[in-house]
Structure 1
Amino acid sequence: MSSFSPKRLPRVRALLERLVESGLAPGLVAVLARHGEVHVEATGSLAFQGPGSRTPMAGDTIVRMASMTKPIVAACAMTLVEDCTLRLDDPVDEFLPELAGMRVLADPAGPLDDTVPAARPITLRDLLAFTLGTGMVLDESPIAAARNTLGEPPLDEWVSRLGALPLVHQPGERWMYETGADVTGALIQRATGKPFGEALRERVFDPLGMKDTAFSVLPENLSRFATAYVAGDAPTVDDAPDGMWSSPPAFEGGGGGLVSTADDFYAFATALHSGGGAILSRPSVTLMTSDHLTPAQKAVSGFWPGYFSDVSWAFGMNVRTRRTHIGPSVGTYGCPGLYGTAWYNDPAEDLTSVIIMQRAHAGDQRLPLWNDIWTTVYQAIAD
């Protein structure tokens, strides 16, 4: 018996074609896998105009993964926990002395020199759960302005600049997005004694055969690199193939710096779905895909009120805590990315889904298009 309905599965491709015809993006790719049955649906092209407009989207099309970088970084960190190079609850001070003895803002909206001592050190668990006490600040406070000056220098310099700023909250007090993944990258670099990208290559990419995943695109592969577009009605280029990712960056950002392909990311997703594959043990995968936020942390955290009503945070990714639509089950883990990428493993349905496009802010799971995508994916399940 097929894992997907022969009658309903074609609706997935039909939806992707409608999204391309609507002008959302020049092309989309979806990888759906269940009970060992894999379907790859690709439609459209790499760009609206130019040479890319004549190149079909495919499983090996290279795209900017943005926040889908985060779970890869978390998995790499867990390989270091497994070989006892790192421990989840040890302070990061040994490898990141710049973050030792931190000060914390007395008032998150107040002046930078009004601080109190951190109640405890930052741990690796804090980094992976995004509870280290600092992260994305979306207001006009002094700390938001100061964080905007960090820039993207090499990781060692970036950590030094970060450590010179106070934390916004006490370690463990609440969840804050983004920065934990970047700090984890610096920690991996220091703990392995190798450049962050090289450590990812050795511990994750090579073992899983992820040949196109890196912090930049090789010159010989630029013809497979899709153009990214800004949000809005007009197809305005945000980043071209010869743009930001066409050469190695100074800052290897664990929060969102990787490029990859649907094929590569499916290899990573399958490794976790199967219990760790060639990189991790099943207990590690179970731990990193579990809910790591307390009710108290959820109550005061998130991008908007109720942000954590249906999902929580595992290590470097979301985990669903309540099923609300025709879509992901409780326990589904994964994450979206800025440019319209998304990946989720649903253990209850034995389903892996990877969706690829390149339109800025299209990864926001509140958009109606994602309700349509997940409804169409889940209605295709046969049993």
Structure 2
Amino acid sequence: MRKNRILSGRQWLGSMTISLLAASLQLAATTASADNLSYADPEDVGMSSARIERIMPVLQSYVDEGELAGVVSMIARRGEVVHLDHYGTLNKETGQEVEQDSLFRIYSMTKPITSLAIMMLYEEGRLQLNDPVSNYLPEFSDLKVASNGGALQDVDREMTIQMLLTHSAGLTYGVFGDTLVDRQYREAGVMVSPDLETFVDRVGNMPLQYQPGTRFHYSIAIDVLGAIVERVSGQSFGSFLQERVFNPLQMENTFFQVPSDKVDRFGTNHTFNPATGELEVSDRPENSNFVNRRTFESGGGGLISTAEDYMRFSQMVLNGGELDGARIIGSKTLEYMTQNHLPGIFGDHGQHPGDQLPGFANGTGFGLGFAVAEDQTAVGGIGSDGEYYWGGAAGTIFWIDPEEELIGIVMIQHMNVQIPLRATFKALTYGAIID
């Protein structure tokens, strides 16, 4: 039987006695003090406890039906956490239960954090967004573009830092396609480089897939930004994030490598097998690169985190760059980051069809590290124009809605998710707003 645990207790207050109510509120206060997150009743921030109760049976049904192994879900509004719950198992083989502090591979949810790091350096005058990348990475000084036939062409204009931030630099990933350039990435072992220096050297010897600044193409661009952080700051990328972001925000469970004393909280990754229709274990903690570090500190997808830690990061962003007295970045910088930058880079082609990449729908553009929803009627789901979001390859999702002062986070560990998890969780969340 699933252990139903919501720290703030909103989803069962109606059936509690007065004495248990007092006890539950005391527990919430104690927990909030312990992890520095602030909790409130949903009604205090214009949401309905009864409607938030709808979340549990829906997510639990995904677990019961074998669509998901385990889930942590979290909602905050106006700076107050109103929902935190967990469902299912951390590992379907062992039956270990998911807990609120379970550790998850957040993969591409690393990208907004890396983008923030670059913009911190920008604020300090240490780089400019229109600077050629080769100013900081000489390995990128003589890049060529591969034509469809394989012939190499000169670039029409140099790749810039802004292009890296918006995935419009002409790079690719090597894993989502089978072009000539994708194959070269795989053959060179770009994504299994031992460190960022080797990574940069390998990429600098690869041709670009497209002319820089001509189209959006999801890529290793944010990993390149991690290398720029290293070169400009003089610190390892991981050290920079720890000192400048994680420590000030008290994100004690976010790192590139899982510490030995926290491995028991680290989730097993699962993959949906279309042949069997079932989830299968694909990466066990004891064998994972995230425990036995064998790859570089990937700014595009290398971090491990918890729902609560990522909520602290997200709340800082929503607050305009500050949380609990720690100022990480300026509010105007974040405002700039969460605009759609694509039209400014290559004309009026900043919106892309839904098949451009998973989760990137009509009515959506891209800012500096975040997708930006510009027209929710075109997106085809509830939300606010101007909200920004991203997700990770193992199914993790988050979004930030400035209009509603709302943050939603879901943590799972499943590749090739078959259910509309983000859309469903958003509908349940917005359906609970009553003011």
TM over 0.5: yes
What does residue range 1-383 of structure 1 map to in structure 2 within 5 Å? 1-2=43-44, 3-38=46-81, 39-50=83-94, 53-58=95-100, 60-105=101-146, 107=147, 109-111=148-150, 114-136=151-173, 138-151=176-189, 152-153=192-193, 154-232=195-273, 233-242=277-286, 243-277=288-322, 278-294=327-343, 296-298=348-350, 303-304=355-356, 309-324=362-377, 325-362=380-417, 367-383=419-435
Alpha-carbon offset, residue 321 of structure 1: 1.3
Moved more, 36-45 or 352-361: 36-45
Structure 2: how far apart are the matches of 1:47 and 1:250? Answer: 24
Query: Structure 1 residues 304, 92: closer, same or farther in 2, change over 3 A?
Result: closer
Deviations 1:106-127 (A, max 9, x none): x2x221xx22211222211111
Deviations 1:199-251 (A, max 9, x none): 11112111111111111101100111111101133331111111221123331
Structure 1: how far apart are the matches of 2:47 and 2:361? Answer: 31
Moved more, 86-95 or 178-187: 86-95
Quick check: 2:72–2:98 contact (8 Å CA) kept in 1? Answer: no
Query: Structure 1 residues 327, 301: closer, same or farther in 2, change over 3 A?
Result: closer
Deviations 1:266-319 (A, max 9, x none): 010000000011211101111111101115444688853995522111112211
Quick check: 1:30–1:41 contact (8 Å CA) kept in 2? Answer: yes
- With normalisation by structure 1, the TM-score equals 0.92
Using the aligned pairs only, state the percent identity. Answer: 32
Moved more, 295-304 or 67-76: 295-304
Q: Larger radius of gyration, structure 1 or 2? A: 2
Aligned length: 373
Alpha-carbon offset, residue 55 of structure 1: 3.4
Structure 1: how far apart are the matches of 2:184 and 2:272? Answer: 27
Q: Please give the secondary structure, in 1, of the residue aligned with 2:128.
A: coil
Q: Which runs of 5+ in 1 are unaligned?
A: none
Moved more, 206-215 or 296-305: 296-305
Q: Please give the secondary structure, in 2, of the residue aligned with 1:149.
A: helix
CA-atom RMSD, angstroms? Answer: 2.0
Q: Which amino acid aligns with 2:186?
A: N
Alpha-carbon offset, residue 131 of structure 1: 1.2
Quick check: 2:352–2:365 contact (8 Å CA) kept in 1? Answer: no
Moved more, 25-34 or 267-276: 25-34
Q: Which amino acid aligns with 1:35?
A: R
The one of the two structures with greater contact order (alpha-carbon pairs below 8 A, sep at least 6) is 1
Q: Please give the secondary structure, in 1, of the residue aligned with 2:139.
A: helix
Structure 2: how far apart are the matches of 1:35 and 1:142? Answer: 48
Alpha-carbon offset, residue 69 of structure 1: 0.7
Alpha-carbon offset, residue 32 of structure 1: 0.3
Quick check: 1:66–1:256 contact (8 Å CA) kept in 2? Answer: yes
Structure 2: how far apart are the matches of 1:338 and 1:293? Answer: 23
Q: Please give the secondary structure, in 2, of the residue aligned with 1:343.
A: strand
Structure 2: how far apart are the matches of 1:139 and 1:48? Answer: 30
Query: Structure 1 residues 139, 68: closer, same or farther in 2, change over 3 A?
Result: closer
Q: Please give the secondary structure, in 2, of the residue aligned with 1:290.
A: coil
Q: Which runs of 5+ in 2 are unaligned?
A: 1-42
Structure 2: how far apart are the matches of 1:135 and 1:317? Answer: 18
Query: Structure 1 residues 246, 338: closer, same or farther in 2, change over 3 A?
Result: same
Quick check: 2:102–2:267 contact (8 Å CA) kept in 1? Answer: yes
Deviations 1:67-120 (A, max 9, x none): 101101001111111111111111122220011132122x2x221xx2221122
Quick check: 2:372–2:386 contact (8 Å CA) kept in 1? Answer: yes
Quick check: 1:189–1:195 contact (8 Å CA) kept in 2? Answer: yes
